[in-house]
Amino acid sequence: MSQTMPGKPMPDPSPDTQPYWDGLAQGRLMLQRCADCGRIRHYPQPMCAACHSMATDWVEASGEATVHSWTVAHHPFHAAFRADLPYVLVTADLPEGVRLLAQLRDAEAEALRPGLKLRIGFEQNEAGLTLPVLRPATPG
Amino acid sequence: MQLANKAAVIGVGDTDYTRDAGGRSALSLQLEAALKAISDAGIQARDIDGIVMPSPGGPVVAEELVTNLGIPDLRFSTGTPLGGAGPVAALQCAAAAVAAGICSHVLLTLGRTGRTGQRIGARIQQMPQFRIVGEFEAPSGALAPAQYYAPMARRHMAMFGTTSRQLAEIAVTTRQHAILNGNARMTTPLSIEDHQASRMIADPLRLFDCSLESDGAAAVVVSAADRARDLRRPRVLLAGMAEGHPDSPSAITQRADMTRLGLAKAAPRAFAMAGVTPADIDVAEIYDCFTYIVLCQLEDLGFCGKGEGGAFVEGGALGLKGRLPVNTHGGLLSQAHIAGMNHVVELVRQLRGEAGRAQVPDAEVGLVTGYGDLGDGTLAIMTRG
């Protein structure tokens, strides 16, 4: 194999999604909101499925989250993540009515159960991309 | 126009299913399967006048089939881009085309070098239907189907008490069927303990919860039911068909109920079209990229209630002598991952009584499902005609 190892996947933002990534770069989880009917949606998309408005604004997430489900990645499907294994991917309910997928920090998968309270944090990876992470709301 | 029983599967064919097809191309494998299906149907390649590619944009395009098979007058060419739900979606598409009189004999082929060619992790990152998760989830390390589907299984376990040993029941029974089949990649018995000892891939999915990336191809020919009457093999009628798409089709993460697949929407439509109920099904070929996906589909099909799938599969219930024989060929888990086209082939063989040592006695009504692209579901109910 003469190829160099591929790096971690990087987003290729569109005009519709760029504000989300700009927010993360500043350590803020920004959620898209319909400027007409007020419905919050995630992931970012050009149209509100409820009222079909394409007018959008952005609101910062409260930072609260609860566990909806999770998995623990053990198999290296991507060479760039091999050194991170095993890692826990949590699907979390946000009080804003959408879900967030992020890696778990400062806890083991065994501690997880649906409804467990988490806090959203931020981490920059080796490629300079800031991503959300999730931590237990109450340490220990 | 009602589509029920207007079309039939008149021919099926498949290659050897292997870990390594010895450098043969996906096109070569698909042509071999196509020729076998055409011969099985008792028609000539020149009679093919429709092609539905269940995996459009895949390694083979319809034009290559036309060129190699010498098809002189293709009247209908399309594709069903639903991932593993594509083959069964293609059956419905082909049935609609022949019932409408657009064409007479439709060829469906699917085959790939999934093991020796490009692996799944690399493949899906190039697929447009994975663009959303590619942008928002892959950077965090959710990169492969096992990692997208494992949280569905974990949620099911957390809500309903489903266990890994219950998932093992599916893997063990499917392996028994593969051993009977004779054209399957996995040929050694598997126990629940073997499953429980296998390494974790994406918790709660272990190695033996996962299907086998494989080399091989399978093909079928669909024709109008009235034209199929005089052909070589018994007709297998397409009695009921439907596709269903889940809520939040591009991201499981945002799906209100991640334990319910698109199949839950399709199943009532297909059963109503066929005029049968789950209790009438003699044999079921259920898309099994992962054991959990079988369990969830059994619920979404109505064989049991939501949350009851774990209890339903216990005690060899999916075996040849069980309450519902499932994946009698060994499935994607133990025969080969041919994206479910091998499930279509097996159902036809079962209903013709040609399934060899894994034949379900007197199978007259059966179903085959497809599942793919983060939750799309398809269902075809077939009857011996």
Q: Please state, rounded to an integer, the average pLDDT across all residues of chain B.
A: 95
A94 in the same domain as A55 = no
Kindly determine whether residue B135 and residue A12, on different chains, have CB atoms separated by under 8 Å: yes
pLDDT of res. A116: 98
A107 in the same domain as A51 = no
**A5 domain residue, yes or no:** no
**A23 domain residue, yes or no:** yes
Interface test with B, best of A8, A40, A66, A74 (most B CBs within 10 A): A74
Q: Is A101 on the interface with B (CB under 8 A)?
A: yes
For chain B, what are the domain ranges?
7-118+211-384
A134 in the same domain as A84 = yes
pLDDT of res. B303: 98
Percent of chain B beyond pLDDT 70? 97
A31 in the same domain as A96 = no
Interface test with A, best of B123, B147, B157, B247 (most A CBs within 10 A): B147
Residues of B with CB under 8 A from a CB of A: 121, 125, 132, 134-144, 146-147, 150-152, 154-155, 158-159, 199-205, 251, 253-254, 258
A73 in the same domain as A105 = yes
Q: How far is CA B222 from the centre of its chain?
A: 16
pLDDT of res. B1: 67
CATH code for position A78: 2.40.50
**A81 domain residue, yes or no:** yes
Kindly determine whether residue B139 and residue A9, on different chains, have CB atoms separated by under 8 Å: yes
- Of the residues A60, A77, A92, the one at which a domain ends: A60
CB B241 within 8 A of CB B270: yes
pLDDT of res. B231: 77
pLDDT of res. B333: 98
Does ipTM surpass 0.90 in this model? yes
Number of domains in chain A: 2
Kindly determine whether residue B141 and residue A17, on different chains, have CB atoms separated by under 8 Å: no
A80 in the same domain as A48 = no
A139 in the same domain as A88 = yes
Residue A69 structural domain: 62-140
Q: For A2-17, what is the mean pLDDT?
A: 84
Instruction: Kindly list the residues from chain B whose CB atom is less than 8 angstroms away from the CB atom of residue A102.
Output: 140
Instruction: Kindly list the residues from chain A whose CB atom is less than 8 angstroms away from the CB atom of residue B204.
Output: 71
Indicate if the pLDDT at residue B258 is higher than 90. Answer: yes
Indicate if the pLDDT at residue B161 is higher than 60. Answer: yes
Indicate if the pLDDT at residue B122 is higher than 70. Answer: no
Kindly determine whether residue A9 and residue B142, on different chains, have CB atoms separated by under 8 Å: no
A78 in the same domain as A136 = yes
Helix axes B145-160, B291-301, angle to 10 degrees: 60
Q: For B366-380, what is the mean pLDDT?
A: 97
A139 to chain B, closest Cα gap in Å: 22
A68 in the same domain as A129 = yes
pLDDT of res. A2: 43
Residue B299 CB partners (closer than 8 Å, separation 6+): B305, B306, B307, B308, B309, B312
Kindly determine whether residue A74 and residue B203, on different chains, have CB atoms separated by under 8 Å: yes
Q: Is A72 on the interface with B (CB under 8 A)?
A: yes
CB B216 within 8 A of CB B364: no
CA closest to B124 among chain A residues:
A77
**A9 domain residue, yes or no:** no
A104 in the same domain as A89 = yes
Q: For A75-90, what is the mean pLDDT?
A: 96
Give dist(CA A30, CA A21) in Å, integer. 8
**A126 domain residue, yes or no:** yes
For chains A and B, count residue pairs whose Cβ atoms are closer than 8 Å. Answer: 101
Report which of B19, B36, B26 is spatially closest to residue B349, judged by C-alpha positions.
Answer: B36
A140 to chain B, closest Cα gap in Å: 22
Q: Is A1 on the interface with B (CB under 8 A)?
A: no
Max CA pair span of chain A: 53
* Tens-digit pLDDT profile for residues B295-335: 999 999 999 999 999 999 999 999 999 999 999 999 999 99
Max CA pair span of chain B: 57
A76 in the same domain as A55 = no
pLDDT of res. B56: 84
A100 in the same domain as A135 = yes
Please give the radius of gyration of chain A, using alpha carbons only, rounded to the nearest integer: 16
Instruction: Kindly list the residues from chain A whose CB atom is less than 8 angstroms away from the CB atom of residue B258.
Output: 68-69, 91
**A1 domain residue, yes or no:** no
What Å distances lie between residue A129 and A10, A29, B125, CA to CA? 8, 13, 19
* Tens-digit pLDDT profile for residues B184-236: 999 999 999 999 999 999 999 999 999 998 999 999 999 999 887 777 788 99
**A8 domain residue, yes or no:** no
Give the tokens for residue B23: 């450098």
CATH architecture of B7-118+211-384: 3-Layer(aba) Sandwich (3.40)
User: Which of A:102-131 have CB within 8 Å of B?
Assistant: 102-103, 109, 113-114, 125, 129, 131
Indicate if the pLDDT at residue A1 is higher than 50. Answer: no
